[in-house]
Amino acid sequence: MERRKYIRHPLNYPLKTRILQENTDSRKVVNHIVGESDNIGEGGLQFTTCCEIEVGTAVAIDVSVEDRNFSLNGHVTRCRRCRGGRYVIAISFDTSNELLKARMTEQVVRIELLKKRLEQRYNVALDFGCVAKEWIKRYSTLFAKQYDV
């Protein structure tokens, strides 16, 4: 049975990938590759795109989550072709700073989900900052435990 080192959390948002180093075959170098994130964890991010990216390539991932922009740096650890000519790309984060940014990205997603759930339940518009305070009160301890903080 395969066991993952880090817990992965769903994260389905559009993203852009920028290649930070030259590929050995310059004809394959494509910047601003558009895709959609699949999941995120402390160790990295997985996304789906129409372009193949060579394993080992350094990349910057720009993802917009609920009108907030995050840029995460890492390198490609896996590139697998799937149905329809698309590729599933796994990115490993390089530094603890990138891990922190990944946690913050996921927190924004979770706060926004709580906000939407509460707005639907009570049929009222809520302020993101107020919902963030409530999320922190309710869930931050549990969230931190998922990341072995």
Confidence at residue 1, expressed as pLDDT on a 0 to 100 scale = 42
Q: Per the confidence metrics, is the pTM higher than 0.75?
A: no
Residue 2 is assigned to a structural domain of this protein: no
User: Residue 149 pLDDT more than 50?
Assistant: no
pLDDT tens per residue, range 37-83: 888 876 889 999 999 999 999 999 998 877 788 889 999 999 999 98
For residue 54, report the phi and psi dihedrals to the nearest 5 degrees: -65, 135
Residue 1 is assigned to a structural domain of this protein: no
pLDDT tens per residue, range 104-143: 888 888 888 899 999 999 999 999 999 999 988 988 887 7
- Same-domain status, 58 and 109: no
- Same-domain status, 72 and 122: no
- Same-domain status, 76 and 124: no
For the chain, the domain total comes to 2
Last residue of a domain, one of 95, 110, 130: 95
Q: Bigger pLDDT: 84 or 144?
A: 84
Q: Which domain holds residue 70?
A: 8-95
- Same-domain status, 84 and 111: no
- Same-domain status, 20 and 87: yes
Distance between CA atoms of residues 146 and 143, nearest Å: 5
Return the closest-CA partner of residue 62 out of 22, 26, 20, 32.
32
Residue 85 is assigned to a structural domain of this protein: yes
- Strands 58-65 and 33-41 turn out to be unpaired
- Same-domain status, 27 and 70: yes
- Same-domain status, 70 and 89: yes
